[in-house]
Amino acid sequence: MLIGVYVKNFKCYQGRHFVPCFSLDQNGKFVSYLGNNGVGKSAILEALDAFFSKKPHWYRNKDSKKGSSECFVAPVFLVENKKYSKDVLDISDKLSKNIKIEVSDNYTLVCIAKREDGVFVFFDGKKEVTAEDQQKEARKIYELLMKAYQYVYIDAEVDIDEQARISSEIYELIIGSSVVTEVEKQFKEADSKQKLIDGLNKALEELIDNELTKGLKQIDKDYSYGGTKGAISKLTANVLAKVSTEAFLYARKLKYKGKQIDSLSSGQRRRALLDFIIAIIKKKIIGSSKTFILAIDEPEISLDASIKMSQFEKLLEIANANVCVMITSHWYGWIPSTNVGRSILIDDKDSGEKDIQIFENKDFPFRDSPKYEMRMIFDFLTSLGASAEANKTTKYIICEGPSDVIYLQASLNDTSYKIIPVGKERVIKIAGIFKNYFWKENGPTLKNIIFMVDTDPEQGDSCGDNCYLKRWSKDSDLKVTLVSGNENIHKKCTIEDVLEPVVFLDSLKVIHHDKVLIPTLSVKYPNSFGPDAFGLDSILDRTFYKESKERKIDLAKEYQKKLKDLTHTNNLKSLIDGAF
């Protein structure tokens, strides 16, 4: 895992700075860098590219001291324990103390600094270890890291502008993929029957020795082609597979909706680039021991408002599929609905130093800061409205939390629904702003969006006259509906109150810690739903629901698994379908 990176005199980072990367928790494979122009967001991705690249570009800080050793990039990795030397373990201990990260006995922190002069040294967070024997070990560990990681960096200016752009980092993704493996297999089969490769090698050797070299020697006898003999210089099935795959890609042009990519807008080309990379990475991670890091500078650049949200959803999706994703961004519309990974807020202090703050996306207060909240909500609503207008057959549900998403996805099982969790307080606030823009005298201008909330008497929930805001409401007969008014505002009601009772109870028996009361429960009121069907609502509210968010999510996931066996249309689906 890439924990963070030290940069010294790289681009706008004067002196030495430590910038955090991925968090250690299981949902930590996504990190964003936010801040104003010029604070050093893109510099982090470029610094890591310099570390991983075979041909790095060094952008030295203009005010740094002279000397090629004065500029370096030193990522910090958490690696499984191996038989490292005592010196390496001592450096690791110092590093752990300097960056204030505690690691278990099964892991070690490793930090290798790659300097501008090409020298590799260990770095303990304060000083370089420059002893010659340590440099050799540092180089050895660097080579192991290069085999363990694949870093793909897409800067803000890159798109598939021509067929030739499918090269460099993108071509590196294809090499070693199942595509090349299959082509190599075909070459081997052809060679076993027809001795194809031997024939090609002989023909090429004869051409070089008898034609090119002979002709050159007639001009000057000192000309020669080195390496024309021996296995290294000969074609192999693998070499032919790589070369032919590359040639095939260059000869064919990618199209979207019948149009060649190079004739599309820059935003469409950039979107195609991300789709292309994701498609390749998804194939490569299957069965691979490598860790893939996809770093994208401003993925929203040049995109229409209706596309931006889906662009970020793709990145979050592959982050959940075990790909480490790093982004920089000036568009904050993705933040309200993101509950995984972390965001790093970078700013410049008056002193010239960097102010670097870490926020976990599931609960960071950045969302509630007036300085950023208005921009976040504006970006989100602009994209939401544009998406809904562009995709009239898609139904958008803006709900409270991740457990709501799981219940809705399980019950609807319909790709025409798009479900976005933004947090309870923000659902009501965003719905109010949304109404002001998309409600006219004759009614709503968009009819494929609803904002869905629970009824919580303690918080005084109210829908008022907002037809976009739908609230779960329970009447005196325990019948639950989605309403836009204020009826039954004093009776608690949540999405769990409309779930299939047998499936919900079976899920509860698996997840709930109580092994005395819960196993004895059965459905007593078959015409009711959720906990009301077995008379447990108040007990759940006092115990299970207030334990933790994770417990609610575990219950929702169990319900999702068990609902697959239901043969009739479930109650939640009927209510949601009727809300549009």
Quote the mean pLDDT of the chain. 82
Distances (CA, A) of 155 to 42, 169, 328: 8, 11, 10
Taking Cα atoms as reference points, which of 107, 111, 135 lies closest to residue 123?
Answer: 111
> What is the residue-wise DSSP string for 488-554?
TTTS-B-GGGGS-HHHHHHHHHHH-S-SSSGGG-----TTS-GGGGGT-HHHHHHTGGGT-HHHHHH
Kind plus residue range of the DSSP H or E element containing 338: none
What is the chain's alpha carbon radius of gyration, rounded to the nearest angstrom?
29
pLDDT at 54 over 80: no
Q: How far apart are CA 115 and CA 354, in angstroms?
A: 22
pLDDT at 241 over 60: yes
Which position has the higher pLDDT, 93 or 161? Answer: 93
pLDDT at 543 over 90: no
pLDDT at 480 over 80: yes
At residue 538, the pLDDT reads 54
50: number of Cβ within 10 Å: 20
What are the counts of helices (DSSP H) followed by strands (DSSP E) for the chain? Answer: 17, 21
Q: How far apart are CA 9 and CA 187, in angstroms?
A: 49
Segment 319-332 mean pLDDT: 91
Which tens digits make up the pLDDT trace of 196-222? 888 888 888 777 777 777 777 778 877
At residue 166, the pLDDT reads 46
Q: How confident is the model at residue 77 (pLDDT cuts 50, 70, 90)?
A: very high
Quick check: 333 and 382 in contact, CB under 8 A?
A: yes
Which tens digits make up the pLDDT trace of 131-140? 887 888 889 8
pLDDT at 542 over 70: no
Query: What's 33-93 look like in SS3?
Result: EECCCCCCHHHHHHHHHHHHCCCCCCCECCCCCCCHHHCEEEEEEEEECCCCCHHHHHHHH
At residue 424, the pLDDT reads 78
pLDDT at 512 over 70: yes
Q: How confident is the model at residue 173 (pLDDT cuts 50, 70, 90)?
A: low
Kind plus residue range of the DSSP H or E element containing 441: none
Which tens digits make up the pLDDT trace of 115-153? 988 889 999 888 888 888 788 888 988 998 988 898 988
Share of the chain above pLDDT 90, in %: 26
Q: How far apart are CA 363 and CA 328, in angstroms?
A: 20
Segment 328-349 mean pLDDT: 89
Crossing angle of the two packed helices 549-563 and 501-511, in degrees rounded to 10: 130
Pairing of strands 324-329, 30-34: parallel
Pairing of strands 417-421, 395-399: parallel
Quick check: 484 and 469 in contact, CB under 8 A?
A: yes
At residue 29, the pLDDT reads 92
At residue 449, the pLDDT reads 94
Locate the domains of the chain by residue range. 2-158+266-364, 170-253, 391-579
pLDDT at 170 over 80: no
Q: Could you tell me if residue 464 is left (phi over 0), alpha (psi between -120 and 50 degrees) or otherwise beta?
A: left
pLDDT at 48 over 80: yes
Segment 509-522 mean pLDDT: 80
pLDDT at 67 over 80: no
The region of weakest confidence among 470-474, 507-511, 546-550 is 546-550
403: number of Cβ within 10 Å: 24
Contacts of range 548-553, beta carbons closer than 8 Å, 24 or more positions apart: 549/401, 549/402, 549/403, 551/511, 552/401, 552/403, 553/402, 553/403, 553/406
171: number of Cβ within 10 Å: 16
**Residue 229 carries which DSSP code?**
S
**Most confident region among 1-15, 88-102, 192-206 by mean pLDDT:** 1-15
Segment 457-480 mean pLDDT: 79
354-360 β-sheet, strand order: 149-154, 291-297, 324-329, 30-34, 342-348, 354-360
Quick check: 566 and 500 in contact, CB under 8 A?
A: yes
Return the half-sphere exposure (C-beta side, CA atoms, 13 A cut-off) of residue 400: 20
Segment 277-305 mean pLDDT: 85
Which position has the higher pLDDT, 520 or 246? Answer: 520
Which position has the higher pLDDT, 18 or 267? Answer: 18
Pairing of strands 480-483, 469-474: antiparallel
Segment 157-175 mean pLDDT: 54
Which tens digits make up the pLDDT trace of 371-430? 778 888 889 999 999 999 999 999 999 999 889 999 999 999 999 999 999 887 788 889
Q: Could you tell me if residue 213 is left (phi over 0), alpha (psi between -120 and 50 degrees) or otherwise beta?
A: alpha
CATH topology classification for 2-158+266-364:
Rossmann fold (3.40.50)
Q: How confident is the model at residue 298 (pLDDT cuts 50, 70, 90)?
A: very high
Q: How confident is the model at residue 161 (pLDDT cuts 50, 70, 90)?
A: low
Crossing angle of the two packed helices 86-99 and 132-148, in degrees rounded to 10: 70
Segment 235-255 mean pLDDT: 75
At residue 411, the pLDDT reads 93
Distances (CA, A) of 534 to 191, 479, 572, 574: 71, 15, 18, 22
Backbone φ, ψ for residue 4 (5° rounding): -175, -175
At residue 460, the pLDDT reads 60
